Amino acid sequence: MGAPRVVLASASPRRRELLAAAGLAFSIEPADVDETLSGFDDPRDAALELAERKARAVAERRRGEDAFVIGSDTIVAVPATGGWRLLGKAADEREEREMLDCLSGTRHAVLTGVCIVRAADLTPFRDAELTWVRLRELSTAEIDAYVASGEWRDKAGGYAIQETADRFVVGLEEGGFDNVVGLPVGLTLALLRRAGWVGP
């Protein structure tokens, strides 16, 4: 019998690179699920629920197999009166400008939910990691240039810390850089082991 398969339920090149850098052997099978944030008030709840939706959608196709499916979702959240303003992926340039205006000069939360669904019995194992990010004040010209670059597309919160937006970042607090990129690798490996995966 071969080793159990690890399946990444994401098409994200950033998550793929992070897992590969950790030395993990895995296949990719993107999940097609609703990622809208309406109905969620708490960023942790949103990140965990969306991560589980992704992992479960792929695990359902592999029900009964000796496979472990990784789902992950990253939410950017800005403290607001009475709670949080949750930011997913900007749909267009107008929404991207609004996000950058909202994030400019803030200390905001980046939460990544990770869920491992064991395909053999569809049991979920999930947790989330939090990183606080400080962004400096952004000028209108900087926002215009970043919007024009297109780098923000398909990025939670409308920016990519691992690309040119790193120049906007003053610093990180608590969690790690990989969490802001989109996959906390240490947490992911710990959840895989909790689910029964045996690997490097």
Q: How many CA atoms lie within 13 A of 160 on its CB side?
A: 16
Q: Are 62 and 128 in contact (CB under 8 A)?
A: no
Distance CA 190, CA 127 (A): 10
Q: Are 63 and 42 in contact (CB under 8 A)?
A: no
Residue 91 DSSP symbol: S
* Catalytic center residues: 73
Bridge partners, 71 (sequence order): 115
